[in-house]
């Protein structure tokens, strides 16, 4: 990392030793403790509803979702189906609550956050199937929930961006519900970790190659030796006829080239892509400016489908 310039806001993180991932439960407990110590303040203009959707799988799993929408909105709203980050092994429907509330408030859409099953206890394809089941359930129940299912975007950050890309692939290949847009923020798309950024960033703050290796090992589980393109969308050979995409990459991220390469291949396949690279930022970051940028991108995507 010595030859790279890091944004001053992240310098303090770079000076702290990274703790390697060894136990998913320990990470989950730490996140929960942080949530208790720093709760998210509710936004008075928003209505937040927690619902359970019944899975069509034989185990009759109930999938929990949280829907954010403005209280004063009437009529059906466009939908952002949002999948939280967390390396496939941590997080829940309120992990990215600040982002979800911001999108709902400023895009004037319904944001549906999904609690999907987590690795390593439930490796691929469990989490992806939960996310796709939610898409199908919303397609059937959209009118009852005041959702405009002709204007549906999928999105997420990191592992959540992987799931968004994979849901778009599944919907295309299964001729399922139509998705109009995909928003992929610092996406984890390639388990092979053979890119320049994956080889180079071994000591960056928050998330480096070691964490990426553990993340993929836990997520893929028994499928580690025979990886599906739905687990790692970078392995997909044909990217034609997918929804238009916004892809955001962090310059100091081992996953940086996942997003850059995917954007390039989508464009080559005839898919409209808006690509942003922030050169001095590590993987785990948040920015009000970038959130506002994503609001504008989503507004445009939903307007274009009217």
Q: So where are the chain's domains?
A: 22-303
DSSP one-letter code for 144? T
Q: Which of 92, 130, 190, 253 is catalytic?
A: 253
Whether the predicted pLDDT of 38 surpasses 70: no
Whole-number percent of the chain with pLDDT over 90: 72
Is residue 226 flagged as an active site residue?
no
Confidence grade of residue 287 (pLDDT, cut at 50, 70, 90): confident
Confidence grade of residue 173 (pLDDT, cut at 50, 70, 90): very high
Mean pLDDT of 150-165: 98
Integer CA distances (angstroms), 248 to 141, 158, 257, 259, 306, in order: 31, 10, 11, 7, 25
SS3 category, 62: strand
pLDDT at 284: 77
* pLDDT per residue as tens digits for the range 65-114: 999 999 988 889 999 999 999 999 999 888 899 999 999 999 999 999 99
pLDDT at 111: 98
Q: Which of 92, 190, 191, 283 is catalytic?
A: 283
- Enter the tokens of residue 196: 């320049």
Q: Which of 236, 238, 244, 251 is nearest to 285 (CA)?
A: 251
Q: What is the pTM of this model?
A: 0.92
What is the CATH number that goes with domain 22-303? 3.40.50.1820
Q: Which of 122, 121, 102 is nearest to 111 (CA)?
A: 102
Q: Which of 189, 205, 208, 206 is nearest to 197 (CA)?
A: 208
Is residue 106 flagged as an active site residue?
no
- 74 vs 243: which has the higher pLDDT: 243
Is residue 257 flagged as an active site residue?
no
- 20 vs 245: which has the higher pLDDT: 245
Q: Which of 158, 191, 197, 257 is catalytic?
A: 158
pLDDT at 249: 97
């Amino acid at each position: 990392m010595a030859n790279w310039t890091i944004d001053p806001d992240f310098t303090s993180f770079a000076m702290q030793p990274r703790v390697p991932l060894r136990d998913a439960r320990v990470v989950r407990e730490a996140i929960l403790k942080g949530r208790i110590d720093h709760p998210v303040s509710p936004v008075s203009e928003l209505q937040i509803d927690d619902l359970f959707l019944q899975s069509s799988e034989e185990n009759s799993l109930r999938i929990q979702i949280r829907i954010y929408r403005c209280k004063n909105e009437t009529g059906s709203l466009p939908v952002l189906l949002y999948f939280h980050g967390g390396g496939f092994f941590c997080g829940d429907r309120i992990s990215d609550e600040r982002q979800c509330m911001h999108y709902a408030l400023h895009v004037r859409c319904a944001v549906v956050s999904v609690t999907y099953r987590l690795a390593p206890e439930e490796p691929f394809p469990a989490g992806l199937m939960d996310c796709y089941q939610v898409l199908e359930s919303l397609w059937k129940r959209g009118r009852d929930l005041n959702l405009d299912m002709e204007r549906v975007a999928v999105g997420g950050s990191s592992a959540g961006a992987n799931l968004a890309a994979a849901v778009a692939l599944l919907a295309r290949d299964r001729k399922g519900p139509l998705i109009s847009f995909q928003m992929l923020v610092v996406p984890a798309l390639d388990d092979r970790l053979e890119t320049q950024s994956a080889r180079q960033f071994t000591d960056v703050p928050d998330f480096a190659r070691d964490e990426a290796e553990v993340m993929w090992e836990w997520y893929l589980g028994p499928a580690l030796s025979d990886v599906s393109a739905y687990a790692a969308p970078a392995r997909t050979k044909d990217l034609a006829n997918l929804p238009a995409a916004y892809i955001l990459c962090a310059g100091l991220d081992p996953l940086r080239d996942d997003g850059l390469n995917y954007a390039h291949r989508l464009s080559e396949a005839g898919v409209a892509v808006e690509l942003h690279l922030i050169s001095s930022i590590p993987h785990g970051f948040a920015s009000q400016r970038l959130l506002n940028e994503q609001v504008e991108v989503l507004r445009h995507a939903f307007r274009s489908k009217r």
